[in-house]
Structure 1
Amino acid sequence: MSTINHAQDISRFYEIVGGNIRNYRNIGQLSLQALGDALGLTKKTVQRYETGEIKVDMDRLAEIASALSVELAALLEGTESMLGAEPRAAELVRLPVAGKVSFNNGDLQYREIKGYEATPKAWVNEGEHFYLQAKDDCMAAAGIIQGDLLLIQRQDKIADGEIAVVLVNGEPALRRVYCQGDHFILLSDNVKLSPIIREAGASYGTDIRIVGKVLKSIATY
């Protein structure tokens, strides 16, 4: 691995790596304390890694990657030009970030593509995957807030209580899906939003359609 020569680049390198650690910790829904405990470190030390305040060597970074269940390359994402190395393409896939989705003759269509997100292959072993951005805080209790990137696995069958992207009159919405007899119930974690209830046959009709399951939520702030 190449070394970084300039002080400014060194500082920026650890800021980027720290930001990656923070993002993947949030994805895994780990607190600073929980990650620190897994590594035998204090909460403060982990926090200082995330802010780039202190350096983290490659051996320690590999331990952090293992504790977060991600590849080391994921924590180095964005530093390739500083290291003089190319991303390891075999470990990543690029998935579309869709502004909207729709169906055409039963096929899912991505619309208003905003870009492509490099994604660890381990996250998307099977099936069709894409990203949407959360448009509100209706699932804040589940750790999903407005602006988060949502990794979606395309599927039209959802287990009770799972969070799915559902098209309601053509617009994507996040809801927990429940099947009660011959009815589907779509619930938000926000008690101010009324549940949506449809007969099982109607739920796959023109007004409501399940797009896919939310696998991960990635903070973008």
Structure 2
Amino acid sequence: MLTRKQLDLLKFIHGRISVDGVSPSFDEMKSALNLRSKSGIHRLITALEERGFIRRLAHRARAIEVIKLPEGMEQAGAAAPNVIRHDFRPRPEPAAVIDNAAGSVPLIGRIAAGTPIEALQHTVDHVTVPRAMLSPRAEHYALEVKGDSMLDAGIHEGDIVVVRRQDEAKDGDIVVALVEDQEATLKTLRRKGPVVELIAANPAYKTQSYDARSVKIQGRMVGLIRTY
């Protein structure tokens, strides 16, 4: 039996993973549950883990996997893990395991989670992703992450990020930003008047500041795929 706060937190984590592909931060959990400190979140997370509802993945930021849901929630759909294990080596797949709940998006190159690198390339492959990551009537694409500046957001080098193509985003969104029409980077967006800041999630990297006119939003990250 879960307490009301434990159930509320489990619902919040499950909902964010289903939409964004990654679990929320402790600050986001604290705000969602109207708690005054992160210590309360730590206690709730520990309780959920001890009861077998979630699992924390070691040495990774924002890496919580929902293992099961209470009986009432299970009827609404199975838990969606924040880390999606997928092998991208080409191989035939039996028709019996093809899932119409999965979609395909183009993999269009690499994106820098560090110093900006060359602009996005043409389609080099396609990857299969859960349809829960994809918004109806929206265009999506995938990029392989190069660099480690988004580690604290749970984004590692070699990960595949799923991006919804859009030219607008809110402060706090993780975006694909094209700088001066030449270099693309994956960062958290923040605007300060005429200045756009592209913020890393790794203290080893400084925030990059640009004239807003030199930065174009190419999309918002909506999911993450990791191979093992």
How high is the TM-score relative to the length of structure 2? 0.56
Q: 1:38 to 1:173 in 2, by over 3 A?
A: same
The residue identity in structure 2 corresponding to 1:119 is V
Match of 2:160 in 1: 149
Partner of 2:202: 190
The letter for the 2-side match of 1:146 is E
Aligned equivalent of 2:227: 220
Q: Secondary structure at the match of 2:172?
A: coil
The farther-off stretch of 135-144 and 33-42 is 33-42
- Identify the residue that residue 210 of structure 1 maps to in structure 2: 217
Unaligned runs of 5+ in 1: 1-23, 45-62, 102-108, 204-208
Aligned pair 1:167/2:178, yes or no? Answer: yes
Shift of 1:29: 3.5
SS in 1 for 2:213: helix
Task: Say which structure is richer in helix.
Answer: 1
Flag the 1:148–1:155 CA change in 2: closer, same or farther, 3 A.
same
Q: Which amino acid aligns with 2:204?
A: K
Specify the SS of the correspondent of 2:135: coil
Per-residue CA distance 1:23-82 (angstroms, 9 max, x = gap): x89x4439xx969948954889xxxxxxxxxxxxxxxxxx6x712279xxx99999963x
- 1:114 paired to 2:124: yes
Partners of 1:76 and 1:198 lie apart in 2 by 36
CA RMSD of aligned residues (A): 4.3
8 Å contact from structure 1 (residues 38, 67) kept in 2:
no
Greater RCO (CA < 8 Å, at least 6 residues apart): 2
What one-letter code is carried by the residue in structure 1 that aligns with 2:210? R
| Structure 2 counterpart of 1:157, one-letter code | E
Distance 1:88 1:191 in 2: 40
How has the CA–CA distance of structure 1 residues 69 and 134 changed in structure 2, closer, same or farther, with 3 Å as cutoff? closer
Percent of pairs with identical residues: 25
Separation in structure 1 between the aligned mates of residue 131 and residue 220 of structure 2, nearest angstrom: 17
Shift of the 34–149 alpha-carbon distance from structure 1 to 2, 3 Å rule, reads farther
| Mapping 1:92-107, distance limit 5 Å | 92-99=102-109
- Describe the shift of the 1:153–1:179 C-alpha distance in structure 2 as closer, same or farther (beyond 3 A): same
Structure 2 distance, partners of 1:147, 1:187, is 20
Structure 2 vs 1, CA of residues 181 and 215 (structure 1 numbering), >3 Å: closer, same or farther? same
Distance in 2 between the 1:217 and 1:202 partners?
A: 27
CA contact (8 A) 1:99 1:133 kept: yes
Residue identity matched to 1:194 = K
Alignment length (residue pairs): 162
Range with greater deviation from structure 2 (35-44 or 189-198): 35-44
> Please, which moves more after superposition, 209-218 or 163-172?
163-172
